[in-house]
């Protein structure tokens, strides 16, 4: 049974869901409580949404292509999504749909835990802990995991930000990314090669409105930004809304970040006036590169038996 848990300090209020160890909403506390996440208006829709609003994603994030992968001379079948050549975000039994236990809870922090059982796709049990902590104007996320066998592990969070939800879509938000390379994808999202962002719609080394980059990709299979950027700093990037002067700075010790500008529709009602949520918001899915096990140039996301997995993502707000 899911529980919604509210964490609060003098600057932020955050609503956490035990189902999917997710973030349902983040409020900036100024003269009012300002929501900055696009999400389902109905909490029940949120729990089962395959737009993964705010959910913890794992064991793998992004697309793991089938029919299988090899690890330690053993071939593991990939349980692909229906009518897909890949598993997306851990598949139908991914962490996004699992109910986590509350291990400890204070007014401004909570630790959630879940033991993911062995499956045909993922060897061994994986013990996962997700720690949410409010520190001044930062939502701090820590992932800890440990497996009983060598396995794949690539955990992230799938929140969709809009710093001015009442202002419509995010195309006039300014994005900056500390990333000089991105992963080129084909129409099925298979990794083709790494390429420089310079002089492409993926160049956000200097902050600029999202509009031109997103609209330049409308006719691609991705219909906007839905790509993995190779970051060159723990400061992943920043999002700025010129109308409200609000800013989000993202920090992580992951080597890459998937940026997705909500290019596909939501069939369920959202807290935005943007029709079906298209381009209403933007994710910063800090992670290892998707499908890395199949491409030696990428990080494989292999977690060795009993090796500690420890990553963080910080969402720091200025307002
Ligand atoms: C679509 O391709 C996108 C993914 O990147 C995203 O995570 C998902 O919708 C919610 O499948």
Which of 164, 163, 95 lies closest to 130 in space, CA to CA? 95
**Mean pLDDT of successive 10-residue stretches along the chain, which has 319 residues:** 96 98 98 97 95 98 98 97 97 98 98 98 98 99 98 98 98 98 98 98 98 98 98 98 98 99 98 97 99 98 97 99
CA distance 180 to 197: 5
**Ligand 1 pocket mutation, candidates 37, 264, 266, 281, criterion most atoms within 8 A of CB:** 264
Which of 130, 179, 136, 150 lies closest to 311 in space, CA to CA? 130
pLDDT of residue 99: 98
| Structural contact between residues 27 and 16, judged by C-beta atoms closer than 8 angstroms | no
Looking at the CA of residue 222, tell me the nearest atom of ligand 1. 2
pLDDT of residue 291: 98
Which CATH number fits the domain that encloses residue 247? 2.70.98.10
| Structural contact between residues 89 and 60, judged by C-beta atoms closer than 8 angstroms | yes
Query: Could you please report the per-residue DSSP string of 65-78?
Result: ESSEEEETTEEEE-
Looking at the CA of residue 285, tell me the nearest atom of ligand 1. 7
φ, ψ for residue 23 (rounded to 5)? -105, 115
| Structural contact between residues 121 and 91, judged by C-beta atoms closer than 8 angstroms | yes
| Structural contact between residues 36 and 28, judged by C-beta atoms closer than 8 angstroms | yes
Query: In angstroms, what is the span from residue 258 Cα to ligand 1's centroid?
Result: 10
Query: In angstroms, what is the span from residue 20 Cα to ligand 1's centroid?
Result: 16
pLDDT of residue 214: 98
Q: How many domains does the chain have?
A: 1
- State the CB neighbour count (10 A cutoff) for residue 209: 16
The CB of 264 under 6 Å from ligand 1? The reply is: yes
Looking at the CA of residue 52, tell me the nearest atom of ligand 1. 10
CA distance 61 to 286: 9
- Name, in order, each residue with C-beta under 8 angstroms of 285's C-beta and a sequence gap of 6 or more: 57, 61, 62, 156, 157, 158, 257, 258, 259, 260
Can you say how many angstroms the Cα of residue 139 is from the centroid of all Cα atoms in its chain?
14
> Can the peptide bond before residue 67 be classed as cis, meaning omega within 30 degrees of 0?
yes
- State the CB neighbour count (10 A cutoff) for residue 73: 5
Which of 176, 174, 180 lies closest to 231 in space, CA to CA? 180
pLDDT of residue 277: 98
Nearest CA to ligand 1 atom 5: 226
pLDDT of residue 1: 86
Domain that holds residue 278: 4-318
Query: In angstroms, what is the span from residue 103 Cα to ligand 1's centroid?
Result: 30
CA distance 188 to 157: 23
CA distance 67 to 304: 22
């Amino acid at each position: 049974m899911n529980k919604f848990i509210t964490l609060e300090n003098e600057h932020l209020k955050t609503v956490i869901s035990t189902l999917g160890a997710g973030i349902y909403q983040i409020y900036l506390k100024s003269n009012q409580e300002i929501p900055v996440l696009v999400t389902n208006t109905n909490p029940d829709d949120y729990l089962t949404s395959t737009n993964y609003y705010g959910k913890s994603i794992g064991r793998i994030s992004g697309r793991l292509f089938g029919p299988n992968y090899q690890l330690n001379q053993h071939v593991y079948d990939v349980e692909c999504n229906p009518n897909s050549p890949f598993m997306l975000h851990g598949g139908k039994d991914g962490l996004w749909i699992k109910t986590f236990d509350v291990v400890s809870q204070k007014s401004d922090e909570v630790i959630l835990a879940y033991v993911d059982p062995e499956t045909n796709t993922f060897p061994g049990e994986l013990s996962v802990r997700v720690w949410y902590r409010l520190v001044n104007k930062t939502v701090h996320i820590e992932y800890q995991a440990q497996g009983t066998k060598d396995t794949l592990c690539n955990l992230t969070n799938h929140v969709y930000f809009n710093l001015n939800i009442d202002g419509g879509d995010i195309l006039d938000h300014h994005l900056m990314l500390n990333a000089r390379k991105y992963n080129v994808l084909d129409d099925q999202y298979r990794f083709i090669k790494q390429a420089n962002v310079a002089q492409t719609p993926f160049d956000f080394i200097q902050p600029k409105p999202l509009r031109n980059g997103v609209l330049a990709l409308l006719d691609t299979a991705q219909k906007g930004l839905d790509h993995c950027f190779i970051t060159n700093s723990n400061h992943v990037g920043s999002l700025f809304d010129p109308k409200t002067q609000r800013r989000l700075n993202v920090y992580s010790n992951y080597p890459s970040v998937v940026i997705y500008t909500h290019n596909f529709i939501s069939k369920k009602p959202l807290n935005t006036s943007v029709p079906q949520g298209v381009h209403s918001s933007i994710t910063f899915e800090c992670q290892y590169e998707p499908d890395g096990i199949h491409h030696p140039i990428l990080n494989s996301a292999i977690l060795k038996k009993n090796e500690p997995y420890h990553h963080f993502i910080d969402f720091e707000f200025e307002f």
